[in-house]
Amino acid sequence: MTEDGSIAASENEATSGAPAEEELTVEQVLEKAGVIARKALLYAQGEAKPGVKLLDLAEKIELFITDNGGKPAFPVNLGIGNVAAHYTPSAEETAVLGEKDVLKVDLGVHIEGLIVDCAQTIDLSGENGKLVEASKKALENALSVMRVGANSRDVGAEIQKTIESYGFKPIENLCGHSLQHWELHAGREIPNVAMGNSLLEEGEIYAVEPFASTGSGRVREATDSAEIYSLMGAKNVRMQASRRVLELVAEEYRTLPFAKRWLQEVPMLQFALSDLEKQGLIHGYGVLHDDAKSLVSQAETTVIIEKDGVKVLV
């Protein structure tokens, strides 16, 4: 990104000399990422069939993003049933999609660190239409009240009211979030219930993500080993494998979340990740789930705050 807030078009174009070098604004780059993300959600819908391996599905979606000129802003999350977030298949995962699964596909696309974040719920049995609609409608209603000066609490209230009107619970300890250059969670929140108190400002970028649940409306973090990590800090580390992980992450993902399966080339990978986590240099995200046997739906998009409303990017 240059200092005036514009960003050079793909380096390839510049070096191959084909189209004239083009300067895109931040908003234009985000729009481009949004188009890729929308296509990726559609692609995921077509690929998510019973019997498909979760690992293949995640990898195919990530490859689709890359093939279309973006990069995954985080590992594709495939939350099934009561899993709300932070599940991505491991490199060894053999599980397949079930005939009656309620699947959340949550994906991010970034171009040079400019990020859009979005999600949809796929109801494979067709028996959970109301649950899917609850989070979708909540997202729609949330966007309708967002504009410069709107209070995040009122956006949360809108989400809560909508989901409760369908007879479900909004997940109160998951939030939408502001986004900044290379920062997926940039500090400001859009709650899913009437909580918080901050005024939306012009030009801010937010991911809004209502979750509707048949369970308790609160997620807990599983304690088994994580598949998704992100960088928290950097310093010199003694172990060679740990150094290699830090190098790869700093170069390719920076502070964006990455999957353990993206680093398969590193020998003694699990050892290195545990070492780095102990030193507080990376953070592992446990799977977030509601009560056993409950079902969770999610809808998410990314918007830019404007004077009289929002610009929807995905």
- Residues near Mn ion, by CB under 5 A: 106, 117, 119, 207, 209, 300
At which residue do the structure tokens 């495939």 appear? 78
**Closest CB 174 distance from Mn ion, rounded Å:** 9
DSSP H helices in 113-234: 129-145, 152-165
> Of the two residues 31 and 106, which places its CB atom closer to Mn ion in the complex?
106
Q: How far apart are CA 116 and CA 312, in angstroms?
A: 10
Nearest distance from C-beta of residue 86 to Mn ion, angstroms? 10
Q: Determine the Cα–Cα distance for residues 104 and 123; give it in Å rounded to an integer.
A: 9
Residue closer to Mn ion, measured from CB, 156 or 245? 156
- Helical packing angle, 129-145 and 152-165, nearest 10°: 150
Q: What is the smallest separation between the CB atom of 111 and Mn ion, expressed in angstroms?
A: 17
E strand or H helix that includes residue 29 = helix 26-47
Q: What is the maximum alpha-carbon separation in the chain?
A: 58
Q: What is the CA radius of gyration of the chain?
A: 19
**Whole-number minimum distance, CB 51 to Mn ion, in Å?**
26
Query: Toward Mn ion, which CB reaches closer, 88 or 128?
Result: 88
Task: Indicate which residues carry an active-site annotation.
Answer: 106, 117, 177, 185, 209, 300
Instruction: Select 175 or 295, whichever has its Cβ closest to Mn ion.
Output: 175
